[in-house]
Amino acid sequence: MAVSKPQRIVMHWTAGEYEISDSDYEKYHEVVEGDGTRRLCRRRPEANNDVNDGDYAAHVRAKNTGSIGLAMCCMKGAKERPFHKGKFPMTEVQLGAFINMVAEYAETYDIAVDRRHVLSHEEVDVTLKVPQDKWDIMWLPHMAKPGNVVEVGDFLRERIEAARAKKFDRSDSFLASLNEDDLVERIVARIKEELA
Ligand SMILES: [Zn+2]
């Protein structure tokens, strides 16, 4: 079934090298390379509103409709158990750029930064109960070994939400300029005017 707008963001690592590959270009909507460079991929998120035409980014199993796919190019050759981060571990600068990028997409598409709407590929399995058979974003540069996938997701969401609040401050300057006393004074003045 098609949707009218993107519903969620699925976060990935590519299990590739630090630069965008041809398959990354087909699979995701945007990626961040190892040095923090962002690369747009072939399709815009709207392509996934309807997957029946076959023209969409296929980045998850059985959950591509309405799913924006954002990824970090890294983790080729990494092993989960025993943990071995390989030659292309996620970098701090890459993660920082990724957090800002996800915040931007969440803002643009009005997607809530919560467990059901901004989640890692592996959380699609755990939280949405759609089996993925993947290990994906279970480790971050400050961690000694992979952690609980939802805890890692929560760590990311907290930072994404903070980045979103910082970047897209919604405080309304008109409302902020009014305090209650001003408002009462104005109303009283208005009533006096009416009665005069
Ligand atoms: Zn993935």
Q: How many CB atoms lie within 10 A of CB 77?
A: 13
Contact 18, 35 (CB under 8 A): yes
pLDDT tens for 95-120 read 999 999 999 999 999 999 999 999 99
Q: Are 31 and 41 within 8 A, CB to CB?
A: yes
- Residue 40: how many CB atoms within 10 A of its CB? 12
Pairing of strands 38-40, 8-13: unpaired
The pTM of this model reads 0.86
As a whole-number percent, the residues of the chain with pLDDT over 90 amount to: 83
Residue 136 alpha carbon to ligand 1 centre in Å: 6
| CA 132 – ligand 1 centroid, Å | 9
CATH code of 8-170, in short, is 3.40.80.10
Q: From ligand 1's centre to the CA of 27, what distance in Å? A: 10
Listed residues: CB within 5 A of ion ligand 1: 12, 121, 136
